[in-house]
A and B are shown apart, each in its own frame.
Chain A
Amino acid sequence: MTESTPMPDREVVLKPATRASRTTIGRAFQVLGRAFGTVWANPKARVGLILLGLFILMAVFAPVLAPYAPHDDSFGRNEPGSSAHWLGTTGNGEDVLSQVIYGSRISLLVGFIAGGLSTVVAVLIGLSWGYLRGWGNDVVNFLVNLFLVVPGLPLMIIIAAYLQNGGLPMIILVVVITGWAWGARVLRAQTQSLRSRDFITAAVFSGERPARVVFREILPNMTSMIAAAFFGAATSAILAESGLSFLGLGDMATVSWGSMIFWAQNSMAILTGQWVLLFAPGLCIALLATSMTLVNFGVDGLSNPRLREGTGR
């Protein structure tokens, strides 16, 4: 209980070492497979992975799954659900179901790209900020705290308003600008705690150069935090995209879940009883965001070396 040694001495069973795959690609697949298995082992995360997988399939196979093209406005306007249009049609005479299916592409794209980019920024800043000392540290500290407390959405709205019709890249840009600070802060704390561990000093004594110390010794020990930062950032990116589109600040010509709600709101869908128009895309946003939150319950084990050998102890 309070003993720190996880196992008794003298009785270390020497199992024959299992040979890992020799090729780089093979090894990469092994690592990915194990990472997936680790997350999958958590029941909450499993639900998240399944949900997320379904959304990804939906986005990839949208042309196959959707009964009509998303911009095909050749149907009757504001029709209720029918066998031809399961979720009815919009005020412009487009098929709602098709739009919902195609909309997943934008949300996933923004989620993954913006989430990925802000994670990269967070990792770079978090690692160097945690590893380096000196006055530069204080400056970064102040900047990160500034970005943390300045309300992100209003800032995004302002920037988006100036860059009218910037489209998807603009949305991704503003999400990254406002979304990296949280991850950087968490990763800095972890870097600092890892840096004080003896194995980092030992690496320096082994003649390793700073870049190698950071990327080979510190970084792999933060896999779970980086994954958590990524899914966190992706979730807020998806929510932010929907918020901006809802305000009409996105690219209103593309079909996204946020813009669907914007048009529905504009055409007074609630008053005309077309509540599905509001309900369906919103539920999709909520489910996609939930799936990522759930996956995050399972990433804790990713940096655990016991899972890297394949068999748990």
Chain B
Amino acid sequence: MRYALRKLGLLLLTLWAAVTMNFVLPRLMPGSPADAAIARLAQNGPVSPAVQRAIEVQLGLPDGSLWDQYVSYLHSVVTLDFGVSYTFFPMKVSDLVANALPWTLIMVGMVTIISFAVGTLIGIGAAWRRGTWLDSLPTMTGSFLSAFPYFWTGLLIVFFTGYVAGWFPTSGAYSATATPNFSLEFIGDALYHAALPAITIFLTSLGGWILGMRNTMINTLGEDYVTFAEANGLHGRTVAIRYAARNAILPNLTGFGMALGGVVGGSLLVEQVFAYPGVGYLLYNGVTNQDFPLMQAVFLMITVSVLVANFLVEILYGVLDPRTRR
């Protein structure tokens, strides 16, 4: 319990640091991002004082002390008021992010969990059969796959299975004719659209998980408790899973937490390739249009999601390791 509380405290502290980083970043940049953003917005028509104020709170006020700016910035973050996007004028940034976030969270989140689970299983097998082709094949394939840039894997898959073979839709999250709802029909359609980006993320991230698990598992296989378990005549499967893998999974979970940011980052590019309406696609649109308020809000949301996911991983670690309960 104390462990969980400490991790929660650390999460809050990290969240605060990330939010603050988001505040500092645009103010550190040369020129005035706020002025640029307001000027852009003005091209769409007159900018209301409220909208101008919202943007300035995010990106930097021309006047007012840094502290006052910071306080109003924190207020705007807590109330999720990030101003208006000019890429998708006159949509509010918060609505845009709220629409996009579920797609990313569900698709990227599920794929990452599946890929981690599969990679871990393969890694266990490779370490258990180390020195054989069951080890070298996944290890070599894994290192090759993880060297692929995410977007390139995506492009290859789009090209071969989408354009050439025509098996899967190549863009969007659901058919243009469908409206989002919770019918089986729509979910099936959504899964069908998610297939290609999901496969891309799965393949590209898989190698890292295989290599990570294999290496930690090889270390635990050298531990005395594994030798002792063999000496006691336990079944090979018991030794591999309950003794070696069960311990190897712990450092691997920590590795998972740290690699999460990289996977999410890569997934953003994949969304762009597939025009998948998640936050990555949103971020891309924000970036190409110099839509600073949108960019900032998306970055903040991605960071918060990753931090929370990391927190959940650490809680899981605590559950799996009796040593944290003391």
Enumerate chain A interface residues (CB-CB to B < 8 A). Answer: 44, 142, 145-146, 148-155, 157-159, 161-164, 182, 235-236, 239, 242-243, 246-249, 258, 261, 265, 270-271, 275, 278-279, 282, 285-290, 292-294
Contacts and interface: CB of A to CB of B under 8 A. Distances in A.
B12 interface: no
A146 to B, nearest CB: 5
A235 to B, nearest CB: 7
A290 B150 contact: no
Interface of B: 13-14, 17-18, 21, 25-26, 29-30, 33, 140, 143-144, 146-152, 155-156, 158-159, 163, 257-258, 260-262, 264-266, 268-269, 272, 283-284, 286-288, 290, 292, 295-296, 298-299, 302-303, 306-307, 310
6 tightest A-B CB contacts, nearest first? A153-B265, A289-B147, A282-B152, A151-B261, A290-B147, A162-B29
Given A142-B13, A282-B152, A286-B152, A153 B266 contact: yes
A150 B18 contact: yes
Contacts of A155: 299
A182 B257 CA distance: 12
B108 to A, nearest CB: 11
Given A161-B295, A278-B159, A151 B152 contact: no
B33 A282 contact: no
Most buried by A among B33, B144, B147, B266: B147
Contacts of B13: 142
Contacts of A236: 262
A153 to B, nearest CB: 3
Most buried by B among A152, A157, A270, A290: A157
A282 B147 CA distance: 10
Given A151-B265, A153-B266, A154-B265, A243 B150 contact: yes
B269 A247 contact: yes
A139 to B, nearest CB: 11
B262 A282 contact: no
Most buried by B among A155, A182, A285: A155
B156 A157 contact: no
Given A162-B26, A270-B159, A289-B147, A154 B268 contact: yes
